[in-house]
Amino acid sequence: MTLDANDADRAPIAGPEPIPRDRTASRIARPARLVAPWLAAILLGVALTRSVAAPLSVAPTADPSAVPSTPAAAVDASVGAAAAATPGPVTGRADARLPLTREVFGFLPYWKMDATTVAGLRFDLLSTLALFGVGIRKDGTLNTKAPGYRAYTGPTAAAITDRAHAKGVRVVPTFQLFDKGSLATMKGFLGDAAAQTRFTKAALALIKSRGADGAVLDFEPLPDALTAAFASFAGDVRRALHAADPHAHLTVTLHQAASDAQIDAIAPAVDRIFVMAYDYHWIGSAAAGPVAPLEGPGSDVTATLLRFVEGAGRAKVILGVPYFGYDWPVAYKGPGATVSTPLKDAGGAWSIGYAAAVDFLAKHAKVKAEWDPVAASPYFTYRDAKKDTYRQVWYENPRSLAAKYRLVKEAGVAGAGIWALGMDRGTDELWTLLRTTFRKKG
């Protein structure tokens, strides 16, 4: 379908200004792969037993009971278990008991590390706070000139650490190596034992000086060809961390499209895997669509979680959810509309945080949020008069996140994770959802 000026529903009309973009919402985005064939029977069972969700009202509910349940039996079938596992007590730093039923692992990027965001953090609803991020150079030295390092070693991060520790919450730095093209930097680092030793020594010194409780390794994109080298490196880092602090955790982030072989190889080397279960549609997609669909067509969060449980085991898996969405220029108003090209001429595509999306809806009463019952995801379409085009936004809200948190509980995995705290700044409903879902009663 294309725009038709003779169709009153699609004729150019005055519309609101495009929504401001959020900075680097999803880091490096890659296309999602198709669901592994061996999951077909399991996913068919999920589809056949899926409850049909009611249409979304303008004011979405945060009540987890309002979303369809993904049968725990589907997860159990994938791992041969009799019932969904119930994890033991959730522990924070130095194995302090926390009032949570699952781990809640939140990333706080340096560009959100300001007084307003920090004042809104609910440390009683977190088990781990990952401060993002400290860059790794090819020779294993830390990039001390980058803003992520300066933020992590600054007074705001120190105050955050003190407040988190007072609640028993772990605080960990994120060590990142992002590459592109030929991956020369990543290949060089993972092929150089001396560089890895240099990094480990520098990382441990930084962790000690900042009173941290472990670390996160975030290497993107990580191809299968470098998996064995990365797993060996991660194992060395974990052993060094545990030698320095037996209570420390090493967490590795893996993209939702990570291969089964990659999951199998890396899981034994780490304490936790943060599954980046988002970017199923991203800035480079040919059509607008859900960023983190609960179910397909195509790859989806349910299938992703089943694969990671199969490869890594329940106890190591943290299901990462997005607090962001994307805003695309589209050729027509329908759900999943084709993205207009050339993209630059149509106004571009960008990421937006949850707070920006709900603020936009509040200010533009004529723009109505709609609901995709299969993806369990909200979206809305609006008109960009300046570019004479429609724009479509797919994002996450309490209802869609509640569906994923229910999946976390039914699958019996370690917990849920968030990319990224601060994208909900000025709102309370996502914290309320965490409280009602994962906070112990009484």
pLDDT at residue 58, as a whole number: 30
The reply to whether 359 falls in a domain is yes
pLDDT at residue 88, as a whole number: 75
The reply to whether 265 falls in a domain is no
| Mean pLDDT to the nearest integer, 96-122 | 96
User: Three-class SS of residue 320?
Assistant: strand
Radius of gyration of the chain from Cα atoms? 21
Cα first-last separation, the chain: 54
The reply to whether 4 falls in a domain is yes
For residue 75, is pLDDT > 70? no
- In the chain, the number of structural domains is 1
Q: Alpha carbon of 224 to those of 106, 139, 261: distances in Å? A: 27, 22, 8
Exposed, middle or buried, 190 (CB in 10 Å: 0-12/13-18/19+)?
A: buried
Q: Across the chain, what does the average pLDDT equal?
A: 86
The reply to whether 209 falls in a domain is no
The reply to whether 35 falls in a domain is yes
| Mean pLDDT to the nearest integer, 182-206 | 98
| Mean pLDDT to the nearest integer, 40-67 | 34
The reply to whether 391 falls in a domain is yes
Q: Under 8 Å CB-to-CB from 365, ≥6 apart: which residues?
A: none
Token pair of 20, please?
Answer: 């401001």
The reply to whether 331 falls in a domain is yes
pLDDT in tens, 423-438: 999 999 999 999 999 9
pLDDT at residue 5, as a whole number: 26
Reported pTM: 0.85
For residue 55, is pLDDT > 50? no
For residue 177, is pLDDT > 90? yes
Query: Do 375 and 346 form a contact (C-beta atoms < 8 A)?
Result: no
pLDDT at residue 136, as a whole number: 98
pLDDT in tens, 333-362: 999 999 999 999 999 999 999 999 999 999
The reply to whether 242 falls in a domain is no
pLDDT at residue 16, as a whole number: 64
Range of the domain at 67: 1-90+277-442
Least confident of 33-37, 94-98, 396-400, 415-419: 33-37
Query: Do 257 and 136 form a contact (C-beta atoms < 8 A)?
Result: no
pLDDT in tens, 144-162: 999 999 999 999 999 999 9
Least confident of 3-17, 67-81, 147-161, 230-244: 3-17
pLDDT at residue 320, as a whole number: 98
| Mean pLDDT to the nearest integer, 119-129 | 97
pLDDT at residue 51, as a whole number: 31
